[in-house]
Amino acid sequence: MRIFRAFFRMRFLLVAEYRMAMVIWMVGGFVSTLIAAVLWLISTPASGDLIGGMTQHQLITYAWLSYLLAQLIGWYPFYDVQREIQEGLISNYIIKPLGLWARRLGEEAAHHAIAVLLQLVGFVALSFILREYLDFSADVGILIRVVPSLIFSILIIFGIQMCLGLIAFWVTDTGPLYALFWIFLSLLGGEWIPNGLLPDIVKTINSLMPFRYTFGFPLDTLLNRITMTEWYWGIGMQLFWALAVFILFKIMWAHGLKKYSAVGG
């Protein structure tokens, strides 16, 4: 925990010096969310008819909440891990098997501590602009249930990103694999497209995949669109995938270090 706090503090101070980059990302997300809201507004009926089990206002509310959760959940250490491997900086972690994981987790936490604060500014502005189209209310029970779903979502995305970064031990150009990950996350993760809009066969397959339990599951929990049985199933799947990607990380890390040491580090 002390190592985690140290990495958090160092990253927090560094990120605070480069706030403008975060502001640019915040503005980009703000504009994207407005565009999504406008698209739902002009492409769905205002009569209250359901599209994938959701009304027009619920779809706009989904996009609104997704803007906030994007910074809470979206922990992406891929490029840092890849860079450290390619530049030989990974040597610093050879004697500390969990050093890389702890450092990246601490630094991502610091990054998002600032990013979420900035994101709140845009979220408040969006709330004002879209106020006539929002359909949202959450009781204490929903808020309690959404907390573990957010934590597991972070761990799943973070873990997948760490594993993708470790591929740099074996592959020089990991860009295509990372692009493939983003295609699946964008289509199946639920950040932009609610799970209810997917074809039934895709929803069935997606219920067993990790992507469903990144953005879509906590959003559906927050919007009270799932039953308690579905929530327990979702939490169980999140726990499974969080552990699975962590175990995969440890296996890849061990084999990656052997290859790294074999070629002279």
Per-residue confidence of the chain (265 residues) as pLDDT tens digits? 565 565 556 555 555 555 666 677 778 888 889 999 999 888 877 766 677 788 889 999 999 999 988 888 888 889 889 988 888 887 777 666 557 888 888 888 887 787 888 888 889 999 999 999 999 988 899 999 999 999 999 999 999 999 999 999 999 888 888 889 988 998 899 988 899 899 999 999 999 999 999 999 999 999 999 999 999 999 999 999 999 999 999 999 989 988 876 555 5
- How many angstroms separate the CA atoms of 24 and 82, rounded? 24
pLDDT at 263: 56
pLDDT at 16: 54
Contact by Cβ (8 Å): 51, 197: yes
**Structural domain containing residue 255:** 2-262
Question: Which of the 8 DSSP states describes residue 161?
Answer: H
Q: What is the largest CA-CA distance in the chain?
A: 67
pLDDT at 18: 56
Q: Partners of 51 in the beta sheet? A: 54
- Specify the number of domains making up the chain: 1
Alpha-carbon torsion, ordered 124, 128, 132, 134, to 10 deg? 0
Which of 219, 212, 213 lies closest to 238 in space, CA to CA?
A: 213
Q: Is 190 left (phi over 0), alpha (psi -120 to 50) or beta?
A: left
pLDDT at 108: 84
Which of 26, 161, 178 lies closest to 104 in space, CA to CA?
A: 161
Global pTM value? 0.87
